[in-house]
Amino acid sequence: MNNIFRKKQVADLLMETTPLKRTLHTLDLTFLGIGAIIGTGIFVLTGKGALTAGPALSLSFLLAAICCGFAGLCYAEFASMAPVAGSAYTYSYVAFGEVIAFIIGWDLILEYALGAATVSVGWSGYFVNLLDNVGIHIPTVLTAAAGTTPGVTTIFNLPAFLIVLVITWIISIGINQTKRVNDTMVLIKLAVIVLFIICTVWFIKPHNWTPFSPYGLYSFNHGTAAGIIPAASIVFFSFIGFDSVASSAEETVNPSKTLPRGILLSLLISTVLYIIMTLIMTGVVKYTIFTKYLNAPILAVLHSTGQTWLSIIVSIGAILGMTTVILVQLYGQSRICYSMSRDGLFPKFFGDVNPKYQTPFKGTWFFGIITAFAGGFINLNILSELVNIGTLTAFILVSAGILWMRKTNPEVHRGFKAPGVPFTPIIAIIFCLTLIAGLNWETWVRFILWFAVGMLIYFFYARKHSKLNA
């Protein structure tokens, strides 16, 4: 059984050549991170989060951000130490060995696929609403998966399906195209958010913030977990994807310096915007109003202030915001699969790099099509929590990996060192465990089933085909 814990050496990783194209700089990585973070959190999850925590939702976002911040410092150190594609998968291979790396890689595939599919459904809601406003109507049966809306007949979510395919095409034809599309959309998205803040901040009524934390840290409201911690577990989904910045290591110029900067800058900017937005939204309207606006909570604020003219601009911002989230998650997924294939843990098909586009073309399309069908056919309301537990598990392993690597490989060069070790990774692990405790037990059952499938694949295929087997 020892060979299942065989490890990669950092020195060997650094000697590997890459067929991928190095073109990303600090600004591109920061925009990649913001593209992944700011989207669903502001435009969709703030409604459900406000009903769970009240105006204290801003503290829930802060709690989730602190968790990601401590984990982000650990990611930044690993990225500077082993600047290769694969993110937490590669870091676990170096720190803990092959079987743990496979588990986390399998876990990240679930995170990115379900995350992108879930966001595509939110994207579809805003897109259909925008088309309705300009007089274009998509048949209702083609706007959601079957059984999504009680009392409404739906079969397939066509917009969600198509947007995933379009983004898959963009990612497959080259990192330069991906970078340009993402940078442009992030700039427009940030401009829309700043415009929203400027136009609505004057309508805040401080009495709407009372009581500020109606459900405390953790309590039950009609049998459902409520309070700051459960809301943090919900809005944690908003921050998922910043770790995919680390997957771009082989396409980054001077990764040991630029990767840590990109990860931490994107987290900082996104957190500040999230807290400002949630304080404004719960200040302009009473948090209970969001019951009627769960899918588009920002519209509750615009209706209350009479600024319906802004709703079309905000809808465009939401659509672009969620487009960048899907783009970064599908990008991260393709690079994880590429890394696992290169190591022999996945078939060679997933690691083939197209000589024209310099991207893992086949693997990108394979998982892109599966994700598109998931967004089109599956009711993702329940499955989205699986994304959270998968990401939190990855964060725990990366944080523990820093502790282990500092102890066992102190001589390895680190372009960036996480401050406050051992406390930083330990705090990250405690925060992650706290957020996991806020998830439903059904999520654990589904996660264990996914884990079991992964173990079957590892023991019947990956272990025998691993490059380290030679």
Residue 216, domain member (yes or no): yes
| Angle (nearest 5°) at CA 268 between 262 and 273 | 125
Answer yes or no: is pLDDT of 403 > 80.
yes
In terms of Cα–Cα distance, which of 355, 309, 395 is closest to 104? 395
Q: Which residues of 248-270 are buried (b: 16+ CB within 10 A; e: fewer)?
A: bbbbbeebbbbbbbbbbbbbebb
Residue 299, domain member (yes or no): yes
Residue 15, domain member (yes or no): no
**Tokens 């588009």 -> residue:** 296
pLDDT-based confidence at 383, cuts 50/70/90? low
Answer yes or no: is pLDDT of 440 > 80.
no
Of 157-171, 244-258, 341-355, the one with minimum mean pLDDT is 244-258
pLDDT for position 384: 65
Q: What is the mean pLDDT of residues 422-443?
A: 85
Task: Report the alpha-carbon distance of residue 371 to residue 116 in Å, rounded.
Answer: 7
Tokens coding 41: 């959190």
First-last CA distance in the chain: 16
Backbone angles phi, psi at 221, to 5 degrees: -120, 110
Q: Are 395 and 428 in contact (CB under 8 A)?
A: yes
Residue 123, domain member (yes or no): yes
Backbone angles phi, psi at 157, to 5 degrees: -95, 90
Mean pLDDT of the chain: 85
Answer yes or no: is pLDDT of 3 > 90.
no
Total number of domains constituting the chain: 1
- 418 vs 176, which has greater pLDDT? 418
Domain span at residue 301 reads: 22-465
Residue 39, domain member (yes or no): yes
Answer yes or no: is pLDDT of 221 > 80.
no
Residue 13, domain member (yes or no): no
pLDDT-based confidence at 275, cuts 50/70/90? very high
pLDDT for position 382: 61
Answer yes or no: is pLDDT of 244 > 80.
no
pLDDT for position 2: 57
Residue 421, domain member (yes or no): yes
Answer yes or no: is pLDDT of 447 > 60.
yes
Record the pTM: 0.84
Tokens coding 25: 């700089």
Residue 411, domain member (yes or no): yes
Q: What is the CATH number of the domain that holds 279?
A: 1.20.1740.10
